[in-house]
A and B are shown apart, each in its own frame.
Chain A
C-alpha cells in the first residue's frame, strides 16, 4: 500500500482565495482524520469521519472550513475564503474504526501558506 496520500505537498495562495486539500486514505481503513499543526497550537484535530460519515467537527475553527468524504477513498478539506492565520501544515490520517490498538497512519502533510 502506498500509505496515506495527500496533495498538494505545498500550497501558496493569496488571502481570500479558496483552498482545497486532498487526501486518499489507506485502502481498508474506515476512519479518517484531519489535523492542523502550528507552532503555537501543536497538533489539533479538526474533524474525523467514520465510514465516510463526519462524526465530530468541533475542531473546525470557523465556517470557512469544510470537509467532505464522498467515498471511502477520498476526502477534501476546503478553506474559503483563506486567511493568513490559516497558514499551517495540514495532515490527513487514517485508521481502523474501533481498533484502538492501531495507531493512525499519517500522510506527508500539506504546508499551506496564505499571503
Chain B
C-alpha cells in the first residue's frame, strides 16, 4: 500500500521569506500523481499544485513550486515570498488509480 510521510509537524516562516515543506512517499507504481493541498482555518481543502510522475519538469503555480525527485520518492513544496494568507495546514497527497492517500500534514505559521 502507498504511504505518504510528512516529517515536519510544524514549520514557521517570516513574511516575504521562502519555506520548503517536505514529503516522501512509498509506492511500487510507476504512474501516479502527487498533490499538495492547503487547509486554512476555514477547513476548506484547497488544491495548491499537482505533479505527474512521468513529467521530469517540476510543477509551478505562481509562488508555489515543487521539487520532485522520483527516484528518491520525494515531493517537497516551496513557497516563495510567503504571505500571511499562506498560514494553514499543508497536506501532501498521492493519487493512484484507486484513491488518494494523504500525509499527516504540516502546520505552517507565517510571522509578520
**Contacts from A to B (Cβ < 8 Å):** 33, 42-43, 45, 48, 55-56, 89, 91, 93, 98, 100-101, 103-106, 108-109, 111
Q: Which DSSP category, helix, strand, loop or mixed, fits chain A's interface? A: strand
Contact between chains at B33 and A108 (CB < 8 Å):
no
In the bound complex, CA of A109 to CA of B40 (Å): 13
* B98 pairs with A103, CB closer than 8 A: no
B74 is an interface residue with CB less than 8 A from chain A: no
B34–chain A nearest beta-carbon distance, Å:
10
Q: Would you give 12 A-B contacts (Cβ < 8 Å), ordered by A?
A: A33-B99, A33-B100, A45-B99, A93-B45, A100-B33, A103-B35, A103-B93, A103-B100, A104-B100, A106-B44, A109-B43, A111-B43
CA distance A91 to B44 in the complex (A): 9
Please determine whether B102 and A42 come into contact, CB atoms closer than 8 angstroms.
Answer: yes
Using a CB–CB cutoff of 8 Å, the interface residues on chain B facing chain A are 31-33, 35, 37, 42-45, 47, 50, 52, 91, 93, 95-105
In the complex, what residues of B have CB within 8 A of residue A43's CB?
91, 102
Report the bound CA distance from A61 to B18 in whole Å: 40
Known: A93-B45, A100-B33. 9 other contacts (CB 8 A): A42-B104, A45-B99, A55-B98, A56-B98, A101-B52, A103-B35, A104-B100, A105-B47, A108-B44
